[in-house]
Amino acid sequence: MGLVYLFALLVSVGLFAVQAVMGGDHGDAGGDHDLAGDHGAADAHKELGGGGAHGALTALLSTRFWTFFALGFGLSGALIHHLDLAGMIATLVIALGSGLAVGIGVILAFRAVQRTSVSSTTGVSEAVGRTGRVLVSVNRAKVGQVRVELKGQSVDILATTDEEELARGEAILVESVEGQMARVSRLPPELK
């Protein structure tokens, strides 16, 4: 059984190494593709956002789940087996539990990150008329960054201005948004 644990560990580490060498964008070692063949945007949304029993099945068939399952299974199983900390059955049960916990934990973590990043980027155009604070100073010749509250979340947006200088921490008003760039001005005293 010790060789099974080592094999699972080596396969998972190998997949991570391949992904690192390829830059993380080309391989499926950490991607949203799955073995069931669901490759569309709607199906990726179901995997990341729910979808009931189908969403859970899709998540369990994803390469991401199985890669992290193999890591948890192989690492815990190999350590327990080679350090002789438990019997064969107990080691197998612990390794399977560890693999499931790591695989499911990673899927849930990616779901949480996906929900946060999607809601933060889609609402930038809704920043018009909102107030915020300067994070990175901005002036006529320099792009800066501002933070605005949108839908209960802090969103950081690149910003330009016609003002001479807006210093870090200064209150601003978002006048317009073009793409991902906001045009801001100093917050008028009557809005403070």
| Mean pLDDT value of segment 99-124 | 77
More confident residue, 23 or 107: 107
Q: Quickly state the pLDDT bin for 30 (edges 50, 70, 90).
A: very low
More confident residue, 5 or 180: 5
Which of 140, 132, 139 has the alpha carbon at shortest distance from 157?
A: 132
Q: What is the CATH number that goes with domain 124-191?
A: 2.40.50.140
Calculate the dihedral angle through the C-alpha atoms of 61, 63, 65, 67, rounding to the nearest 10 degrees.
Answer: 140
For residue 55, is pLDDT > 70? Answer: no
For residue 45, is pLDDT > 70? Answer: no
More confident residue, 43 or 146: 146
How far, in Å, CA of 64 to CA of 175, rounded?
42
| Mean pLDDT value of segment 21-42 | 47
| Residue boundaries of the structural domains of the chain | 2-122, 124-191
Question: What's the pLDDT at 40?
Answer: 38
120-159: per-residue pLDDT in tens?
A: 455 688 889 999 999 999 999 999 999 998 888 888 999 9
Q: Quickly state the pLDDT bin for 164 (edges 50, 70, 90).
A: very high
Q: Which residues pair with 157 in a beta bridge?
A: 146
pTM of the model: 0.50
How far, in Å, CA of 192 to CA of 7, rounded?
63
Residue 50 is classified by DSSP as: -
Residue 112 is classified by DSSP as: H
166-182: per-residue pLDDT in tens?
A: 999 999 999 999 988 99
Question: What's the pLDDT at 27?
Answer: 39
